[in-house]
Amino acid sequence: MADMCEGRVVVVTGAGRGIGREYALMLAGEGAKVVVNDVGGSRDGTGHDGGPAHDVVAEIAEFGGQAVANGDDISSWDGAGSVVKQAIDTYGGLDAIINNAGILRDRMLVNMTEEEWDAVIKVHLKGTFGVSRFAAAYWRERSKSGETNDARIINTTSPSGIYGNAGQTNYGAAKAGIASFSIIAAMELERYGVMVNAIAPTALTRLTEDLGLGGADEKTKAAMDPRWIAPLATWLASSQSAGVTGRVFEASGAYLAVAESWHRGPTAPAIDDPTKVDEVVRKLLADARPNSDMFGNDKKS
């Protein structure tokens, strides 16, 4: 056991499996008191099983760490409030939340159903909003009553959200929304001592198992281990990350990076005549960098 997060109370949503499980284990190993939230659903968000959250709590207890299980559905308003309340009731406070829970319902736009759209937006975007909202209200109340916060919100976006990936208009829109949400929440909450950042991870978990990496060599698989994301999340949850807010990071076993946000590119004076737009916009596009590829790199022409 080390002490980088000694005594800090951290909620990790979706911490029963995959990346969130690694966050919970590393945070507890660094001395944090962790609320291990997981509804224990299937990859597409259906079903419920308390097992995964309890298993992670048991693993943490084995090495002498502190954690409690929470089985709430964070995509519901009540569930979001309840997980924040459990942290405060159990450990007497809250220092960080990591909004990590996620599901997938991939489909090409032309075939996507209303339910596939709503389910993904609800878990990712509304779930991130709900837990953040209840935690932020708690930190604002503390701040108003003269207490000091050293608090963190760490959200989970995706390369699909910030760079794009076909078949994921629902998921990519939710994840792009979470990146923007993080930047805006950072602006609002800094006055209360709350730093807000987001991580776009890449790892081999059940969400990505159909990428065809099952047959990859051991070196590739090791680079895709979800544990690679945990050091950044642990640092962001710790006091060491003070002053870092409103940023989107990328992490995997291959790299650690800062994703730079939208910037205004080539610009022309305003045009009042639609017949003049074609020439001007084509010149602007010729001067502009193309959108990146799905890995965040300049597209090869």
Residues 6+ apart with CB under 8 A from 158: 171, 172, 175, 200, 201
Query: Considering only CA atoms, which of 41, 31, 7, 25 is closest in space to residue 207?
Result: 41
Residue tagged 């994301």 (tokens): 229
CB of 44 to ligand NAD, least distance (A): 10
CB of 134 to ligand NAD, least distance (A): 14
Residues that bind ligand NAD (CB under 6 A): 13-14, 16-20, 37-41, 43, 45, 52, 73-75, 100-103, 123, 127, 156, 158, 201-203, 205-208, 226
HSE (side-chain half, CA atoms, 13 Å) at 82:
15
Of 20 and 81, nearer to ligand NAD (C-beta) is 20
Cβ of residue 71: shortest distance to ligand NAD, in angstroms?
8
Residue 240 has phi, psi (to 5 degrees) of -60, -25
Beta strands at 96-99 and 151-156: parallel, antiparallel or unpaired:
parallel
The answer to whether 23 is a known catalytic residue is: no
Nearer to ligand NAD, 16 or 29 (CB): 16
Measured from the CB of residue 205, what is the shortest distance to ligand NAD in angstroms? Answer: 3
Comparing CB distances to ligand NAD, the nearer of 210 and 279 is 210
Query: CB 195 → ligand NAD: shortest distance, Å?
Result: 20
SS (H, E, C) 88-109: HHHHCCCCEEEECCCCCCCECH
CB half-sphere exposure, 232, CA atoms < 13 A:
27
Contact 69, 54 (CB under 8 A): yes
Pick the catalytic residue from 138, 171, 192, 255: 171
The b/e string for 221-255 (b: 16+ C-beta within 10 A; e otherwise) is: eebbbbebbbbbbbbbbbeebeeebbbbbbbbbee
For ligand NAD, the closer of residues 39 and 189 by Cβ is 39
Nearer to ligand NAD, 74 or 151 (CB): 74
Q: Which residues does the annotation mark as catalytic? A: 171
